[in-house]
């Protein structure tokens, strides 16, 4: 059967390629919520299933590379995908499969959130998978969005402890080959502001918002990267897409305590701006 070409769409479509979070706070679920809340249409390719809730992950089931490729073919052959956001990919073979398909279909924008380090500090990927990520996928990206432990894992260095330490990583992060790097400083919990550095080939732009005191921050990295992809799909320049995404995430965190989800680290409030509430009869 011949592969049908994707139809042009006026709707800004963003594809998320990541793992599923059964608790709904991170991964594919957070991405779909963030893309929808920021004005886009979300489609998805699931690379792994997790048994997960607000307290942690109890199991992971990896999807086969062949079926990941089949999902990608299905999406790209029919939908006019403008931007792609990539989250956790489980191993080197899946990473290479995704990279090959992206070269085949060449979406306009690619945002890579290199999910590699658990909250505990443990690596989620083997070293060979990290090397494949660096060689096959990161050079295709318009922007990558590592947090501080992930940046340290990519560069095989110590985790930055201050904003000055973050600045010292700028040149090494540029050498990874992505179009830009958004180095997220959320792990600097001793500061009153959460500061990210957008590192391009010729400048560094500082984005800073007040730090919000809440333990409901599950899925913040997924949400930010998905929102950036959503805004890029809508035609915003990268600097503006990052600014809008950072503002959106800050408000989603600010309103997180309005939700009461689970007994651990709850999700951010993706739809803080309101919901459709039909009148009751």
> Which residues are catalytically annotated?
184, 217, 219-222
Torsions phi, psi for 261 (to 5 deg): -120, 115
Query: How far apart (Å, rounded) are the C-alpha atoms in residues 243 and 189?
Result: 21
Are 76 and 101 contacting, i.e. CB atoms less than 8 angstroms apart?
Answer: yes
Q: How far is CA 14 from CA 47, 140, 210, 261, in A?
A: 16, 17, 29, 27
CA 226 – CA 59 distance, rounded (Å): 24
CB 185 within 8 A of CB 163: yes
Residue keyed to tokens 């490729």: 69
Write out the two tokens for 188. Answer: 């600097």
């Amino acid at each position: 059967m011949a592969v049908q070409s994707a139809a042009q769409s006026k709707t800004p479509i963003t594809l998320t390629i990541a793992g599923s979070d059964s608790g709904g706070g991170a991964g594919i679920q957070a991405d779909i919520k963030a893309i929808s809340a920021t004005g886009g249409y979300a489609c998805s390719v699931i690379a792994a299933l997790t048994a997960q809730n607000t307290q942690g992950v109890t199991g992971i089931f990896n999807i086969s590379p062949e079926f990941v490729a089949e999902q990608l073919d299905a999406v790209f052959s029919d939908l006019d995908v403008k931007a792609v956001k990539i989250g956790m990919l489980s191993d080197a073979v899946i990473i290479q499969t995704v990279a090959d398909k992206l070269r085949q279909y060449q979406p306009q924008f690619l945002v890579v959130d290199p999910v590699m380090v658990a909250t505990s500090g443990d690596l989620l990927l083997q070293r060979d998978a990290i090397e494949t990520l660096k060689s096959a996928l990161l050079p295709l990206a318009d922007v990558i969005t590592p947090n501080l432990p992930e940046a340290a894992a990519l560069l095989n260095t110590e985790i930055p402890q201050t904003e000055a330490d973050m600045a010292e990583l700028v040149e090494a992060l540029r050498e990874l080959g992505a179009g830009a790097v958004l180095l997220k400083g959320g792990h600097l919990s001793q500061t009153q502001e959460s500061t990210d550095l957008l590192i391009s080939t010729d400048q560094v732009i500082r984005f800073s918002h007040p730090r919000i005191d809440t333990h409901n921050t599950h899925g913040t990295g997924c949400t930010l990267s998905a929102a950036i992809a959503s805004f890029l799909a809508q035609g915003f320049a990268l600097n503006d897409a990052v600014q809008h995404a950072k503002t959106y995430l800050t408000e989603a965190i600010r309103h997180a305590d309005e939700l009461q989800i689970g007994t651990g680290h709850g999700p951010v409030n993706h739809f803080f701006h309101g919901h459709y509430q039909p009148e009751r009869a």
